[in-house]
């Protein structure tokens, strides 16, 4: 069983978008996938409930309860955890203990980049990350690659010791699909495939994790 933790130091960075699309990707691949929603807003859980009767469902679990892992079906193959917004290292310890990889979304703004530094420092205190047995990867999210701001902030992230494992372009498709309980990976049009290609480096990195 593979467990992926998606976490950030602040809300509004696309954490739930990453979590739901990752969960859908694994489900579309035919893996029995569970989405653990640790955010009290419950957005990821509501998304999973909307796709319950679709061809590739994702089982939602309430991750605000510490006993969430006891409710995992025995045949679960992939777990994606959407961490609570603003949760730091110590608050994430019970997820870090079982995760196989940690994905940290970052928006291309000075505020978001600066907020990510202390967050990564709190993660680094966890024994598994200290020993480098738990990989952490950054994902540049909602990028506008044609702007200098996006390019400059991604150039800065590439210099950090934590790897930048994907760069996801901004698109309204994520918002529209979330409202339907769907994801990029439920479609095959040429336009959607362009955005799916943005995910390929992240999916390869997770496969190695």
Q: What is the pLDDT of residues 188-202, one digit of tens each?
A: 888 788 889 999 999
On average, the pLDDT of the chain sits at 92
* Cross-strand pairs, 15: none
* H/E segment holding residue 164: strand 164-169
What integer pLDDT is reported at residue 126 of this predicted model? 95
User: What is the reported pLDDT for 17?
Assistant: 95
| φ, ψ of residue 44 in degrees (nearest 5) | -65, -40
- Calculate what percentage of the chain has a pLDDT beyond 90: 69
Question: At 14, which CATH number?
Answer: 3.40.50.300
> In this structure, what DSSP letter does residue 155 have?
H
Q: What's the average model confidence in pLDDT over 173-194? A: 89
Q: Is the dihedral of CA 129, 116, 140, 68 positive or negative?
A: positive
Name the residue range of residue 44's domain.
2-208
For residue 175, list its beta bridge partners.
Answer: none
Instruction: Domain count for the chain, please give it.
Output: 1
pLDDT in tens, 9-26: 888 889 999 999 999 999
Residue with tokens 């699309």, as numbered in its chain: 21
At 155, the pLDDT band (50, 70, 90 cuts) reads confident
Under the banding of pLDDT at 50, 70 and 90, the label for residue 144 is confident
Residues paired with 122 in a beta bridge: none
- Residues 182-187, mean pLDDT to the nearest whole number: 94
What residue has token string 């703004």? 109
Sheet holding 78-82, edge to edge: 59-62, 33-37, 78-82, 2-6, 101-106, 136-143, 164-169
**3-class secondary-structure state, position 75:** coil
Q: What is the pLDDT of residues 93-113, one digit of tens each?
A: 999 999 999 999 999 888 888
pLDDT attached to residue 53: 92
In the chain, the largest separation of any two C-alpha atoms, in whole Å, equals: 48
Q: Give the number of residues written for the chain.
A: 209
């Amino acid at each position: 069983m593979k467990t992926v933790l998606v976490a950030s130091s602040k809300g509004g960075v696309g954490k739930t978008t990453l979590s739901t699309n990752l969960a859908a990707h694994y489900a579309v691949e035919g893996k029995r996938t569970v989405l653990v929603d640790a955010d009290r807003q419950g957005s990821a859980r509501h998304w999973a409930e909307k796709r319950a009767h679709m061809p590739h469902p994702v089982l939602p679990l309430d991750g605000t309860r510490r006993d969430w892992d006891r409710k995992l079906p025995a045949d679960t193959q992939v777990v994606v955890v959407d961490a609570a917004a603003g949760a730091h290292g110590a608050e994430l310890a019970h997820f870090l203990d079982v995760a196989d990889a940690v994905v940290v979304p970052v928006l291309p703004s000075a505020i978001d980049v600066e907020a990510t530094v202390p967050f990564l420092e709190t993660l680094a205190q966890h024994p598994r990350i200290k020993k480098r047995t738990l990989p952490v990867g950054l994902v540049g999210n909602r990028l506008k690659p044609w702007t200098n701001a996006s390019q400059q902030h991604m150039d800065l992230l590439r210099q950090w010791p934590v790897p930048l494992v994907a760069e996801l372009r901004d698109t309204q498709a994520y918002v529209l699909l979330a409202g339907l309980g769907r994801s990029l990976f439920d479609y095959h049009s040429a336009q959607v495939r362009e955005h799916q290609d943005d995910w390929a480096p992240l999916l390869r990195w997770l496969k190695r994790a």
